[in-house]
Amino acid sequence: MKKKVSVVGAVIFNEQNEILCALRSPTMLLPNYWEFPGGKIDEGEAPEEALLREIKEELGCFITVGEKIEEVEHEYENIIVHLTTYKAYIESGVPKALEHAELKWVNVNNLLELKWAQADIPTVEVLCL
Backbone region of residue 103 per phi and psi (left: phi > 0; alpha: psi in -120 to 50; beta: other values)? beta
Q: Enumerate the H helices of the chain as residue ranges.
A: 47-59, 121-127
Neighbours of 65 (CB within 10 A): 21
Look up the CATH number of the domain holding residue 98.
Answer: 3.90.79.10
> How many domains in the chain?
1
Question: Looking at the predicted structure, is the pLDDT value of residue 106 above 80?
Answer: yes
pLDDT of residue 58: 97
Tell me the C-alpha distance between 64 and 40, whole Å: 18
- State which residues form the domain around 111: 3-127
Of all residues in the chain, the percent with pLDDT exceeding 90 is 92
